[in-house]
Structure 1
């Protein structure tokens, strides 16, 4: 048993090293002109600072955000903007989001933090039955479009089943909200600012594994990146790969290894899951004839299923193989067996080969 645990620890160490290397990959990193090399949590902090500074109606609140939060994303903001604009809340996720809805309904920019995405479920009713329907049920007379709900999601190497989940698919089923997931520091800053300023409520999932591991050049000023616009971050001709968040780094390594075996992979970062960019994915699949989707969430009912169904409808006569999905397992998220649960580089590479050779 001790030997097996040592092997698992070695696998986790290699995965962390992989993320560090790939965070500076030219194809994963965007142009960082006039930027500074920072990690992802610092990029989030910069975005929040800009949001608070540029709009006096902006407020940041959640459990422990007053002293910087568990992941330090709000460090220094209470000192700079005051405790009336950056403040702690009770340990009550339903109350946090409910308060945010009311604040946004009065014309403010409410930026609510859920400490871990695993604990967003007590606020599920507020998000899907109140925030998502607020504009619709009032006939567009009222809205809470100024609400952004931030939540760290996904694997972290030691989180177990209460601190590692990827619940994005639950929210993608609900019209009226947007779901956004960045893959890198520059993407995180630009997409978060765009989410805060979007006229619709947004659930913004942050890949906690990358908070300190992902580092790239990020513009120091104010900028936004378009929502609902996917990005082709690697051109290819044999197969299309689609993912989001931390999984992009793993998929990139699989693409590199596949290239060594003569397989050309096109890699797409979806960035926004709802509403997602069907046109970019469709155009790529029409070119390659094959599609593979990978995400950390369990395979059954994961958002990869929606992408698969949509592309089959749009590209059925062009597909040369069944759509492949490499995802988390249909089990509670494990602790010491996390490396077996995760959609790893080797799992993706095997699926690439199987799909291309179908």
Structure 2
């Protein structure tokens, strides 16, 4: 397997956690004789400092020439005085638009080893495994017109979708639901918004092609409540851009930390992978950031871009093994007894566990005569 990855470490803790994720990918490549190549690029605040723009043309060209893009994080408070179109976050939106990925996949799961980290009762979150499919290129984030008119003290954004935009992301969600528990929840606000009425009607039309999938519709406010009191009722949640952003972040409560949640954006010319957490500039450079979200994002890259399912599962198993051993970064310690690991130490623990899992897979394949 040959894979060319553009690495955009970005701002804040991005470089620290990205280093550990790429380390894991190199381990997978070495053990499987895969030819993974990594090229570094600039985005966000780092790009503003070096090139005067959050999304330099060279980064765009390199991204479109890659098989996958791995992003750390963007954003820093020192750029808050800039116009929104010139801030680090504008670079991320421009990258998403350039790559064309319209389906953002955000898993939300309950690690048994982290049950005490969630403010929800263990009985509520036990065995929760949700996959958010968030439409990423439409809605309020990209709709026009949009403006803040300072002269009149007015501001407006436009939520806009076409049937085609809804249908394509719905089909991604239905396909993924078919590989899971065959249940899809579509979230909208169809009792108020015309855009949501189009969304619901389109999802119902697409559902006719997937009779094996159970479909339900939820208003976004009801869904946000059920995520906290009965999250096990959900499997795949399909929703538009803004609702998906809010709900998937809320679901971080289930796991107990955004620092362990990954994401992938697929459907475009090049897939984009980034952990859900932000740049956290207040802890950057201290070696205390949690790399697990970035490492699990690497697993999603293996699954969706490299098509290496066994290796993706190996990374996920390594993370489970390390968490079950009691290893914690500062955000996960929560007053628990034991040693708190640095970013690099946690990465080392996961990488060592991964080597063991990969060796086990190789031995099993040898004994069964399976060639991979």
* TM-score between the two structures when normalised by the length of structure 1: 0.29
Structure scoring higher RCO (CA < 8 A, sep ≥ 6) equals 2
Q: Which has the higher helix share?
A: 2
* TM-score between the two structures when normalised by the length of structure 2: 0.28
